[in-house]
Structure formats: C-alpha cells, structure tokens
Structure 1
Amino acid sequence: MTSEVVSTRCDAQFKEVARLLAEHRISGLPVVNDEEKVVGVISETDLLYHQVRQEPRYGHRRFHLPKLTRSARVTADKAHATTAEHLMTRPAVITAPDQYVTEAAQTMEQHDVERLPVVDAKDHLVGIVTRGNLLQVFLRPDDEIRRDVINQVTQGIDCPRYAVDVTVDDGVVTLKGHLDGRSDAALAARIAGRVDGVVVVTDQLTYRPDDSRPPGPTTGPAGHV
C-alpha cells in the first residue's frame, strides 16, 4: 500500500476535490470524517458527472440522465453535487493491512473499483492500495518469491524445510516432496498460492495414503494445477 494518502473531508468543496486530484496526479481519494475514519471514496468519474449534465449548445440534443433506477438517481445526485459528501461513493470498499494481495485484487474485481482504502482495527485510514500497487507484486524476483513460499509453507504445515522442494520460474511455483497426509499437501498448495508475486502453483506433492482427514480446497487465490 501507499502510506502517504491524499484524503479529503466531507465538507470539501467541489473545486477543492478537483484541485487535490490534479495536484497529486491521482484518479481518486478517500473521504474521511473528523475521526479519520473512511466514509466514502471519490473518483474522477464522480467529478465528470458534472460535465455530462451540461446542456450542449448550438442545436445539439440535450443529454438526459437516466431516471427511475437507484443507480440513475445516484448519478443524478452526483451531477449536481457541490461537496465531497455528495460526490463520494458510499460505503467505501476497504481492506486491511494484513489482507493478502490476491484477496485485495479479488475485492477490486468483485466491486469494480480501482482503489482500496486501507484501514486499521479501529477503521482509521492508514494507506491506500491501487491496481498499480497490486501489479507491482508480480515484478518480484523469483528468488524472493521462493524464499517466502518456503518459509510460509513449512511454517503453515509445520514441517521441516527439506520436506518441500520449491522452484520458481517467472512466478510459476512448483512444489515437490512427500508429506504426511493429503490435507497437508492441499494446505501447502493453498499457502503457496497466497504468496505475493505467485502467478500459479503446480502441485506435484505426494503424501501417505493413510491420511483420513478430508482435503481442503486445492485452489488458492493465485490458482494451482
């Protein structure tokens, strides 16, 4: 995440919001209350509703905002908004500092947003994550990814480091080794799939056939085959 966050208050005027976006060269910013808790998010699109509501001149047909639907009413309200409180989208889609990058990416996709304010346990703003931030993790060197996979997998399933052989090639992780049970193998693949920068996990682990515990899901957020 980016720790130095540009934010604004609910009573900020339209032009103040536009100035912040332009000066800091950002496409959106969180709106916080007096307790520094995130109450909404404003994007460039929210400001552009003002432009599309303007009536064209010189005989061109007037642009009419759609009506009736809830989404259309929200759009119409933003087109006439003069403060951040009425410009912002609420409630804000947020994330936590300890959330996996893959989970943050899924949240963005599910809610069709380009940024996630990061809040602490008291809902105070501590940072912001953008799609650009998330893409940076895929630039991690393979040796860093391998080190993290080994540490997290061996700690997660409580096994010696030599029990799991990990290779990484352009973010593609291959797991080999022999574990005590099927559930351990499934868990190891899930853990590896959550490591920052992992593109896909190829699970070639073997295990003792007498493991009676049911296997967990075999596909983590990054997926594995």
Structure 2
Amino acid sequence: MRTRIIGEVMTTDVVRVRPRTPFKELVRLLDQHRIGGLPVVDGDDKVVGVVSATDLVRGRAPRADRWPGRTPTHKIPGVVAAELMSTPAITVHPEQSVPDAARLMERQSIARLPVVDEEDRLVGIATRRDLLRVFLRTDEDIRRQVADDVLAGSLGLARDAVTVFVRDGVVTLKGCLEHRSDIPLAIRSAWRVEGAVGVVNALTYRLDDCPAPRAAHAEP
C-alpha cells in the first residue's frame, strides 16, 4: 500500500512576494494569477509568512488614521506584505503524506501550504484543490485497494475472509478473522487508504489472543 506525498501533488511554479511588496502589487498578483494567497519570502527564499486575499480585504489598506498628525493632503506610506501577512507561516515538506497535510489544513483552517526544503526554502505550494484531487476516487477504486492491496496483500488475509463495502468513501469491513488482534490492524490499514473517509467495523474473530486486563488490587 502506497501513500502519496506532497512532492507528487504540489505546484512548483510558485508566485511569491517579498516583505516589502506593496499592497497594490499584492492585489494585482492575486487577481492576475487567480489565486487566494501568496507566500512571502526573504532574500534567501525562506518563507517568512503568507498573505491571503482575506488579509487584504480585512480593511488593512492604507488609512490616514494609521499615521496620526498627517492631513489628507500628506502622502501616506504604502502598506506592504510584511504588515499584512500571517506569520509564522505553516509549512510542510515534500516527503510528508497527503493525508497528513490535509489534516493540517483542516486543523489550521487554511487553504494553502507552502512547501519547503530542509533549509526552509520555498520549493512549491500545496493547495486544498491539489490535495482534494487525491481523495476524488471512486468507491470501487477504494474497495479494490482495501481488498487486494491491504487485506490480501499487506496483511496476507484470505480473499474470502473479509467482504469490503464502500459507499461515499466509507469503508465497511465484514467477516471473521482468525485472531482478535488482527481486527485493529485491518481497521487502521483500511483507514490509511487514500480516499477513505471512515471505516465501519463489522468484523468478528475465532480466537481471542488479546491478554485480559489485569485486575486492580485494592491497597490493604
């Protein structure tokens, strides 16, 4: 069973900006490339933050009241990326798995992840859309991988030992395994299949090889 990694799905041609990139240029780049965010990099191409379209719409454009004492006729300094970006940036490495990156996006409520090398230099970007492509698999594709690659292949179970049903990405395992300890392993392995959004356990076992919990002894 093979899990795809970020390096296989990321976009390597990344539109990036510097901390001193002005507000108007940020807007122009987002509009021109039809993207929702831009990684901000320093002189060594290390990611120092991310500025998103949401950041730009939150009323952070230049306003006279941000510079007390200036009249409307004075020139107001332009806002730059460093003032708008979210920092520190949440990043991933190319060798990280797609499911792990998807969970990170969900946990942090973000739509894009800059991809960096071991020295934190920008090498790509992974968007929610990039990751979703991995999960857009048919139920039959998922069922076949669970039955053939996972249960029969990796775990070495007989092909008629477990029946696999998949509906809307939810995998149901039904059958009888030889040992009780095989059940959690089968469930975990099925859960790791790309595209699986849940696993329903309908498995039974012949032999209970799990040690009974030790009884607690009261102190005298």
TM more than 0.5: yes
Distance of 2:49 and 2:204 partners within structure 1:
48
Aligned residues: 191
Overall identity of the aligned pairs, in %: 49
Contact 2:142 2:166 in 1 (8 A): yes
Residue ranges of structure 1 left out of the alignment (5+ in a row): 56-61, 65-79, 215-225
| CA 1:179–1:121: 2 relative to 1, 3 Å | farther
Q: Residue in 2 aligned with 1:182?
A: 180
Q: Look up the equivalent residue of 2:36 and give its one-letter code.
A: S
**Larger relative contact order, structure 1 or 2 (CA cutoff 8 Å, min sep 6):** 2
The one-letter code sitting in structure 1 at the alignment partner of 2:168 is: D
Q: Residues 1-225 of structure 1 correspond to what in structure 2 (within 5 A)?
A: 1-3=9-11, 4-50=13-59, 54=63, 82-150=79-147, 151-152=149-150, 158-160=155-157, 162=159, 163-212=161-210
Q: Is the 8 A contact 1:182 1:213 kept in 2?
A: no
Shift of 1:181: 3.3
Mapped contact 1:38–1:123 kept (Cα < 8 A) = yes
Checking the alignment, whether the CA contact within 8 Å between 1:183 and 1:213 is kept in structure 2 is no
Normalised by the length of structure 2, the TM-score is 0.69
Contact 2:92 2:101 in 1 (8 A): yes
Aligned-residue CA RMSD in angstroms?
3.1
Question: What displacement does 1:51 show?
Answer: 5.3
User: What are the ranges of 5 or more consecutive residues in structure 2 without an aligned counterpart?
Assistant: 1-8, 67-76, 213-220
- Larger-gyration structure (1/2): 2
Q: Distance in 2 between matches of 1:86 and 1:208?
A: 64
Q: One-letter code of the match for 2:172? A: T
For 1:169 and 1:115, the matched residues in 2 are separated by 29
State the distance in 1 between where 2:23 and 2:61 align: 15
